[in-house]
Structure 1
Amino acid sequence: MNDTQSPQAGSGKVEVTLLDILKLLLSKSYWLLLAGVLAGACVFLVTTFLITPTYESRVSFYVYNSSNNSVQSGTINNGDLQAAESLATTYSKILASNSILDAVLQELGPDVSLSRKSLSGMVSVSVITDTQLLEVVITSTDPAFACKVAGAFAKVAPTEIVRITKAGGVEIVDQPEIPTDKASPRTVFDTAIGVIIGVMVAAVIVILRTLADTTIYLPEDIETMAGVTVLGQIPDINSADDNYAYWTVTEEGAAKNEKE
């Protein structure tokens, strides 16, 4: 037994390095780019022709603690600010409650055929981090209707919050406006993501197919996989007229070349 033989020789395992993978991907770069372009084109077509665009209208509120907003004293102390920040979280829950939703529907009037569940799906309430500000975002496929609903929130929120909490309140910071730019889909961004995903998926498929291919193409592959040295190989001989030639042994023991 040859003691100097590699322990992995004959195991059939081939070590694949990162450099090998990079070379493989570079050699298949055309197909990777083609896959990315096709995926991006599909995303672009879907977002442009099959998805209805939506628009967002926003109204923001400033939350204060004292019922008179400290106007009489002319000062706002640290305790009021901290209390207002805590109230902002509570107010955000109130603004999404059924009580506020019903008040908004009543403000919109009977001409608007909208259920409470549908309105709830349009509304998103959030507290702006480390501030006393609340933001209500209305999402709709109709920009004018989104602004109308946001305006209804702006009108009923201050009164309803004071009625429910009996303390503190909110003041409107920014009135809602009719949006001019769609909020979704983001065609350019989504298309770019589609291109990236297409390239990544194609790269994974190329790598997996290469690793799963156990076909031996070169003599070096035998030396790598089996750990043995190739002493010789049979050349591939093609006849000029593309016909196969057969050698047979005659009765006299001589070889005879017969063409098909």
Structure 2
Amino acid sequence: MNFGEMLRALRRGWWMPALGLLLGGLAALAVTTTTTPVYTSHTQLFVSTTDSSSTAEAFQGNQFAEKRIASYAELLTSQELAARVVDELGLDLTPGELASRIEAAPVSGTVVLDVSVTDPSPERAQRIALTVAEEFIAAVEELETPAGSLTSPVRVTVFGAADLPRSPSAPRPVLDLAVGLVIGFGLGAATAVVRARLDRSLKDPDEVADLAGAPVIGVVLRDDELQERHQVDLQSSSRSAEAYRHLQTNLQFLDVDTPPRVLMVSSAMPSEGKTTVAVNLALALADAGQRVALIEADLRRPRVTSYLGLVTGVGLTNVLTGQVRFEEVAQPVGEDGSLVVIGAGPSAPNPAQLLASGAMGTLLQELRATHDYVVLDAPPLLPVADATGLAVLVDGVLLSVRHGSTTREQLQRTRTTLDRVGARTVGTVLNIVPARDDVSTAYGYSAEYAARPAAVAR
């Protein structure tokens, strides 16, 4: 992913870093409130040699001390030294527990040892640090004194006396909160980027057009009212109404010489908004003064008649089996009758054969002669074969692609299916796009452009 794609991933998944901030802050707060405060007392020890009467001897002694300093740091944190301190102070700790509270580190390039002791009591931390220094000095003298000699060539001096800590060294609420927020935000942002990287669903119109082999001629935003009613009020200036007016206009000027007049609306998978697209496209065309026939060609799950509040019963299956003429089952919508709907009719055991039959081809030719546009709501292309045979009989296929749901693989397979039978995909509709998505801004849906109310004369 490039930097721009990462930014888009963070914008789309903004709630993940926000949730990470919240959880990180809560975790830091929990750690702060449940952790017992501890105090740290510090002291410093200076290591030197006793034989340093000349400059050369002092230099050699300093080198000797530097070589031993790492070993002395290990001795300071050993359980043996801790056991001496426990015995000396009568602590209710094991040598191992005390050793874990002692830290020692040589100051780089020097012969100084930094020693720190941590304890829940500041006074006891100071006492332990003082005793650690005393016991360490005695231990070094014992270890470094050669056999038969009374003095040690190494001398350890307390360079900085153990201090009495005034404030706890842990927890540190401000620092812990900052660390928690940073870690939480980082994990949330990383999750958003990884999720976007692994997400195979389609969100970019350019990618949709490339995979489908046809331009995106419509973008419809998510609309709760449209999801409930399945019809837009074309007399309003809502975003959904404008989206379908755009779709209707783009369709009419898609190919000026040979415009697609018989159009099949389908999708790769169910629940991608194809029926809503078919219904509202037909309404928009009729509202523009076109004579439109809308056919409920999804014989397995018909929805058009219920969306438009029409009568179900006799319909397309009766026409295709020769029982009735299409004029007898066509139901007008609206007062001017510019839109007529042919319902699905009774369920059929062989929907794929009916939709690809010669009778279907004849019906489409008859409707073409009497209407400007014929719109068919067809089944999805991947789960069933019904729409594949029907796609050959129409002028073009309009695919509904659901934003964030239809995957790249599904759209690729849909294109392959249509190409295999020689069908023509005239365009795609990117459907159910979140209003906050970048696509909404790119297509101008983030701006309002309603008519100004007329000025009142005075």
AA matched with 2:307: Y
For 1:188 and 1:214, how far apart are their aligned partners in 2?
41
SS of 1:193's equivalent in the other structure is helix
1:80 lines up with 2:65 in the alignment: no
Mapping of residues 1-260 of structure 1, within 5 Å: 16-29=1-14, 31-66=15-50, 70=52, 73=53, 77-108=58-89, 110=90, 112-166=91-145, 167-216=153-202, 220-226=206-212, 228-230=213-215, 234=265, 235-238=277-280, 244-245=307-308, 248=315, 251-254=324-327, 255-257=329-331
**Aligned residues of 2:141 and 2:155 also touching (Cα < 8 A):** yes
**Aligned residues of 1:154 and 1:175 also touching (Cα < 8 A):** no
Q: How many residues align structurally?
A: 235
For 1:203 and 1:64, how far apart are their aligned partners in 2?
53
For 2:196 and 2:79, how far apart are their aligned partners in 1?
58
Structure number with larger C-alpha Rg: 2
Structure 1 residues 27-72: Cα deviation after superposition (integer angstroms, max 9, x where no partner): 544x2452243123213322221112222112211000226xx4xx
AA matched with 1:162: E
Structure 1 residues 130-151: Cα deviation after superposition (integer angstroms, max 9, x where no partner): 1111122111122211111111
Counterpart residue number, 1:3: none
The Cα of 1:252 is off from its aligned counterpart by 4.2
AA matched with 1:63: V
For 2:75 and 2:208, how far apart are their aligned partners in 1?
73
Structure 2 stretches lacking a partner, 5+ long: 146-152, 218-250, 252-262, 266-276, 284-304, 334-342, 344-458
Relative to structure 1, the CA distance from residue 209 to residue 83 in structure 2 (aligned partners, 3 Å threshold; closer, same or farther) is: closer
Greater mean alpha carbon deviation, residues 228-237 or residues 170-179: 228-237
**Aligned residues of 1:63 and 1:87 also touching (Cα < 8 A):** no
**Aligned residues of 1:39 and 1:197 also touching (Cα < 8 A):** no
The Cα of 1:101 is off from its aligned counterpart by 2.6
For 1:212 and 1:94, how far apart are their aligned partners in 2?
52
The Cα of 1:236 is off from its aligned counterpart by 4.7
Structure 1 residues 154-206: Cα deviation after superposition (integer angstroms, max 9, x where no partner): 22322221122112120000111121222223332232222222222222333
For 2:70 and 2:174, how far apart are their aligned partners in 1?
35
AA matched with 2:129: A
Determine what percentage of the aligned residue pairs are the same residue. 22
Relative to structure 1, the CA distance from residue 217 to residue 258 in structure 2 (aligned partners, 3 Å threshold; closer, same or farther) is: farther
Q: Which portions of structure 1, spanning 4 or more consecutive aligned residues, are displaced by more than 6 angstroms? A: none
For 2:186 and 2:83, how far apart are their aligned partners in 1?
48
Greater mean alpha carbon deviation, residues 213-222 or residues 156-165: 213-222
SS of 2:165's equivalent in the other structure is coil
SS of 1:176's equivalent in the other structure is coil
Kindly indicate whether structure 1 or structure 2 has the higher relative contact order, using CA contacts under 8 Å at least 6 residues apart. Answer: 1
**Aligned residues of 2:79 and 2:96 also touching (Cα < 8 A):** no
AA matched with 2:48: Y
Structure 1 residues 200-223: Cα deviation after superposition (integer angstroms, max 9, x where no partner): 222233334334444445764332
Relative to structure 1, the CA distance from residue 105 to residue 24 in structure 2 (aligned partners, 3 Å threshold; closer, same or farther) is: closer
**What do you get for the CA RMSD once the two structures are aligned?**
3.1
For 1:186 and 1:26, how far apart are their aligned partners in 2?
33
SS of 2:167's equivalent in the other structure is coil
For 2:81 and 2:45, how far apart are their aligned partners in 1?
15
SS of 2:176's equivalent in the other structure is helix
AA matched with 2:171: P
For 1:95 and 1:212, how far apart are their aligned partners in 2?
51
Structure 1 stretches lacking a partner, 5+ long: 1-15
**Aligned residues of 1:54 and 1:140 also touching (Cα < 8 A):** yes
Relative to structure 1, the CA distance from residue 26 to residue 157 in structure 2 (aligned partners, 3 Å threshold; closer, same or farther) is: same
